Structures are given as C-alpha cells and as structure tokens.
Amino acid sequence: MKNNTWTIIKKEFARFFGDRQLLFTTVIMPGLLIYLVYSLMGEGIGKMVTEGRDDVVTVRVENMPEFLATEIVTDSQLVVLEQPFGQEDIDMLSDENLNIVMVRFPKDFELLTSVYDPQSGLPAPNVEIYYNSTNNASSLVYKTLTMFLDAYESGLSNRFDVNRAEDGKEAQFDMATEDSIGAMIWSKILPMLIIMMLFSGTMAIAPSAIAGEKERGTIATLLVTPMRRNELALGKIVSLSCIALLSGISSFIGIALSLPKMISGEDVELGFNYTFPDYAALFLVILASVLIMASAVSLLSALAKDVKSAGTMITPFMLVVMLAGLLPLMQSSVPESFTTFIIPFYNSIEVMTAVFSHKLDWGNVGICLASNVVYTGIAVWGLTRMFNSEKVMFGR
C-alpha cells in the first residue's frame, strides 16, 4: 500500500518536474510576478503621494490670522497672497489647471475663537478652504492646511471648524466639477477595464483558433489548399480581432450599465460627458488595441503545440498587459513623449486615459493607430512565417 502511494507520488513529481513549462508557470512565475507587481505598485503609490509636491501653489487668504502667517509664508512652494476674494474668484478654481487654494477666515478669527464657548450650542467660527481635488498640487495643499488647522484646533479645545456645511446645506469647497471628477476617475478605471475585457475576449478564442487547429489536425487541411499563408494569417488575425471586439463591446456595455449602480452609494455625482470625437477616438483606439492583441495572442498560439500550452504561454503576457493597464492609476497626467504612443498596449492605454480625461490629442491617436497597424503588419508577417515553418506547424 505504502509502495503504491510512493509510486503515485513519484509519478506526479516526474510529470511535474519533467514539464519545464509547467514548472516555470507554477513555481517561478508567481514569485516573479508578485515581485514585479508589488515593485511597480510601490513605485506608483510613492509617486502618487509625492505628485504635485514640487509645484508652486498660490494660496489666497482672507483675514489671515497671525499663527498661520508665520507657518505658511516661510514655505517656498507657496505664494501667499493676503487678499479678500469673492464668488467669482472661487469659481475660477473649477479650472483644474490652476494651482490655487483659497482660504477664508472669519474677521477677527483669533478673537472669535478665544471667546467662543463650545458648550454654548452656537456654531463655531468656520474656516473655509476652497480647492480643486482634480489638481494634485491644490489637493495636496488643501490636505496640508486641513491637517495643520485640525492640529491647531485640537490645541484650542475645538473652538472652530473647517469647511463646515452651513444650515444643513451641502457646502461646496471642492470646486472640481462633476465632469472633471468623473473624468479623473474614468480615466483611471476604464482604460484598464477595457483592455482587460478585450484581452479576455481575445484569450477566449485565439488559442482555439490557432493552437486548437494544430491540436485537432485541421490546420494541415487548410495548409494543403492553394491559399497563400499570408492570407491565412491575415484572415485569422482580422477574424479574431472582430470577435474579440464583439466580446469587448459586450463586456463594456455590462460595465457601463453597472457603473452607475456601483457608485450609487457615493455622495459625489460623476459626470460622463464625452463628445462624438471622444467616442470616435475611443473606437479607433479600441480597434487598434484589438488588432494588436489578436496578433500577439495568435503568434503565441501558433508557437504552442496545443490549446493548453497556448494558455500557459499567454498567461504571463496577459499579466504584463494588466500591469500596463494599472499605470494610469499611478500617474496624474498623460505623458507627452512620442515614445509613449509607440509602445504597444501602453500606447492604447494612454490614449484612452487622455480621452477619458478630456485631453484628446488626435496626433497621439494617429501615432498610436499607425504604430499598432505597423505592429499588426509585422505580426501577420511573423504568423505567415510560422504557417510556413514545418517545425512550428508540425513539430512534436
């Protein structure tokens, strides 16, 4: 009995350790991926925390108390202007490109806080800080000021409030528009979701269409017809792209319908205002992404001897694409360098991020499309060579 158990164990180990591909994906790849993902995330989070820290921010203060003046005037990153401001000035803050924070203290703030009795039931003096949460620098200064004032307030035994809503009305101190908040959130979430949905669609069909044909022996039946190998390669990639696109659209509709439900519990209203050019650019870039995904997955599938090994080969690649999809979460603005838009997958993600951030640049869309078409052409050439290679097609 024991001998049989040991025989089975040995057989399973021989099966596992004898398969280098399985060994790599099961033992080496998880550790490697965790290292890569966590390193990238750590770097990203660090970047998010420090983003905007070096920007110069103008702080307009009305009725500046002395304790604050001594604190913030010395900060070289802040340009402090002591001047009153009105609603018109506050409305300017909705422009997310302006690094401005406006702080309004009640007149004679220090006197008011010294005479205020927290037991009286009367509202405490209120400090209003207006900022724009979609501007990193403005948001960072707002957080710093709030922390400073909270600490100061604790020292005074809660004798004033910061950004208190008056008379039950919802006060608006964050001047970011619903549209810009929406744009910020969508630009961070949707590119990754779209890319993942498209990739899942491609993954679901490409291995079966190419590695599956090898496994089932049906590819040879096609290869003995007079059809040119490049026609076969192009036919495979285009058809797979179309099907993956349909799958991606289905997933996207699902996301679009479920997102309002997902955020319905939140206090914020997220705008989703995109124009026809935005949708057109998005469609084009999705098309280009699908082409290049189908190309890459087809190449890997052609190398694999069957559907199972195709899945094993594609998994690490999928994780790399996922990582690329996470990058917008870690950056505050769309990179402007030319090279960004020629890196496959990353270029699509960045163009989508730009579209959702209302920063559509047709030049970048063009570069992304052109480079993806070139890569697809290269993939068709590669796949043609693979269909021509007896080692790849019939190798055991």
Partner 1 sequence: MEEILRVEGISKTFTLSKKQQQIERTTQRKKVAVDNLSFTANRGEIFGLLGPNGAGKTTTLRMLSTLIKADTGDAVLDGCSINSDPEGVRSKIGFLTSELKLEDFFTPNYLFDFFSRLHQVPDDIVKTRKEQMFARFGIDKFAEVKVKNLSTGMKQKLSLVISLVHDPEVIIFDEPTNGLDVLTARTVTDYLQELRDQGKTIILSTHIFSLVERLCDRVGIIIDGRMISCGTLEEVCNGLSIEDRFFEIFKEVKGDEQ
Q: Is 20 in the site for partner 1 (CB under 8 A)?
A: no
CA distance 63 to 380: 68
To partner 1, the closest distance from the beta carbon of 390 in angstroms equals 4
Whose Cβ is closer to partner 1: residue 213's or residue 350's? 213
How many other C-beta atoms are found inside a 10 Å radius of the C-beta of residue 74? 9
Which residues within the stretch 195-214 sit at the binding site for partner 1 (CB under 8 A)?
213
CB-based contacts of 150, cutoff 8 Å, min separation 6: 162
CA-nearest of 148, 52, 63 to 100 is 52
Considering only CA atoms, give the Rg of the chain.
29
Check residue 293 and report its DSSP letter: H
Binding mask 333-372 for partner 1 (x = CB under 8 A): ----------------------------------------
Is the backbone of residue 366 left (phi > 0), alpha (psi -120 to 50) or beta? alpha
To partner 1, the closest distance from the beta carbon of 219 in angstroms equals 9
Whose Cβ is closer to partner 1: residue 170's or residue 390's? 390
To partner 1, the closest distance from the beta carbon of 136 in angstroms equals 54
To partner 1, the closest distance from the beta carbon of 212 in angstroms equals 10
Q: Residue 252 is which amino acid?
A: F
Task: Count residues near partner 1 (CB under 8 A).
Answer: 16
To partner 1, the closest distance from the beta carbon of 223 in angstroms equals 6
Token output for 210: 């190419």
Judged by CB under 8 A, the residue of 217, 257, 264, 337 near partner 1 is: 217
Binding mask 222-261 for partner 1 (x = CB under 8 A): xxxxxxx---------------------------------
Whose Cβ is closer to partner 1: residue 179's or residue 213's? 213
To partner 1, the closest distance from the beta carbon of 245 in angstroms equals 21
CA distance 275 to 289: 21
To partner 1, the closest distance from the beta carbon of 227 in angstroms equals 5
The answer to whether the beta carbons of residues 241 and 209 sit under 8 Å apart is no
Whose Cβ is closer to partner 1: residue 237's or residue 290's? 237
Alpha helices, H only, the chain: 2-18, 20-23, 29-50, 66-72, 87-92, 109-115, 136-155, 178-216, 218-223, 229-262, 276-303, 307-326, 346-356, 362-388, 390-394
Binding mask 70-109 for partner 1 (x = CB under 8 A): ----------------------------------------
Which residues within the stretch 48-67 sit at the binding site for partner 1 (CB under 8 A)?
none
CA distance 356 to 352: 6
Whose Cβ is closer to partner 1: residue 153's or residue 231's? 231
Whose Cβ is closer to partner 1: residue 165's or residue 227's? 227
Token output for 229: 């190998």
Judged by CB under 8 A, the residue of 216, 320, 333, 381 near partner 1 is: 216
CB-based contacts of 179, cutoff 8 Å, min separation 6: 271, 273, 358
CA 47 to chain CA centroid, Å, is 14
Whose Cβ is closer to partner 1: residue 266's or residue 390's? 390
Q: Is 220 in the site for partner 1 (CB under 8 A)?
A: yes
Give SS3 for 164: coil
Euclidean distance between the first and the last CA atom of the chain, given in angstroms as a whole number: 37
Identify which range of 7-15, 136-144, 218-226, 285-293 contacts partner 1 by CB under 8 A.
Answer: 218-226
CA distance 194 to 211: 25
Whose Cβ is closer to partner 1: residue 356's or residue 387's? 387
CB-based contacts of 13, cutoff 8 Å, min separation 6: none
Q: Is 1 in the site for partner 1 (CB under 8 A)?
A: no
Judged by CB under 8 A, the residue of 2, 20, 169, 396 near partner 1 is: 396
Whose Cβ is closer to partner 1: residue 155's or residue 235's? 235
Binding site for partner 1 (CB under 8 A): 213, 216-218, 220-228, 390, 394, 396
